Amino acid sequence: NIFMLEKKKTELYQELGLQARDLRFQHVMSIATRNNRIIMRMEFLKAVITPEFLLILDYRNLSLEHWLLNELASQLAGESQLVTCSLPFEFRAIEALLQYWISKLQGRLNTLQPQILETLEALVDPKLLSVDRSKLHVLLQNGKSLSELETDLKVFKETILKILDEEELIEELCLSKWTDPQVFEESTSGIDHAEEMELLLENYYRQAEDLANEARELRVLIDDSESIIFINLDSHRNVMMRLNLQLTMGTFSVSLFGLIGVAFGMNLESSLEEDPMIFWLVTGIMFLGSGLIWRRLLSFLGRHLEPPLPPHVSAVLKKSQPAAGRVEIKNSLKAETFGLSRTLTNH
């Protein structure tokens, strides 16, 4: 039976037997008990659980209203729940709230994961000579959202783990055990409600741990992709630098042998300009010398940039074989000597 009502805050906490600070709106997540009431805060979701009813405060949120009107009734009735309907009402209420919050975190992760993977696939491309800034902006926003999700998951896990570590806190969450004598008798005789509550909290702790692992894998994937992007950019940058260096070497070679042409271009007379073949000879010497110098510089560049070759395996094995043979001979000699001494001792 779900219904909505409006009350003043003072009237509400007086009816519930709580203090004003217990109903204060806070963005931190917490699960606490006050005067046989369970107060749960999960950012915009704030609820008070009693053995008879579940009170959702400040419910004006689109996703929250949809959950209240369409899903909460079936969850409180015990349909598709981990706990059975024979357990008290507060079990189903706690599980409904935890299930809602886990589904919200799961939805955020399902929204971020394909966006991050698509952006990384577009960025990690060895054919790209530059990085699209719009893609980097999208990746930055998704990384920020992923960090917020990791923080929420961490707070959720710490809140539940704090209760699991204290047996008294688990006992306090079993409200009907201390108010209904029949429930108390069932808890002492057969069904241990504290163990059921612990199993319930452990289940949602494991779900949060699984989501945290998936978020952590996405974070590692983003970091690895950033390294690959930097490696690709460095590789292209090295190619451009090497091309620039080769062109500089070529320019130096041409300029060096171009001095011959500069010398012949001066307004000085010599006997060489009268020879009709001297032009082709000097031009050939200039081109040939420039080409030889450029090839020499390129070979020098290749020797200093290329990594050295590893040593040949067969040569190493050949060198190690005589030593191994000597070791085997020494061992056989030791064995023969030991057998001889043993024979003499026996005699």
Q: Is 132 left (phi over 0), alpha (psi -120 to 50) or beta?
A: beta
Residue 16 predicted with pLDDT over 50: yes
The closest alpha carbon to 118, from 218, 213, 214, belongs to 218
Residue 342 predicted with pLDDT over 70: no
What's the one-letter identity of residue 252? F
What pLDDT does 270 receive? 67
Angle at the Cα of 200 from the Cα atoms of 146 and 197, rounded to 5 degrees? 135
pLDDT digits 0-9 by tens, 66-89: 788 888 888 887 765 554 447 788
Are 104 and 34 in contact by the 8 Å Cβ rule? The answer is no
* pTM for the whole structure: 0.65
Q: Rounded to 10 degrees, what is the CA torsion of 56, 58, 62, 63?
A: -40
**Selected residue with higher pLDDT from 204 and 10:** 204
Report d(CA 197, CA 82) in Å as an integer. 11
Report d(CA 183, CA 8) in Å as an integer. 33
pLDDT band at residue 322 under the 50/70/90 scheme: very low
Instruction: Compute φ and ψ for 40, nearest 5 degrees.
Output: -120, 125
The 3-state DSSP class for residue 227 equals: helix
Contacts of 11 (CB under 8 A, 6+ apart): none
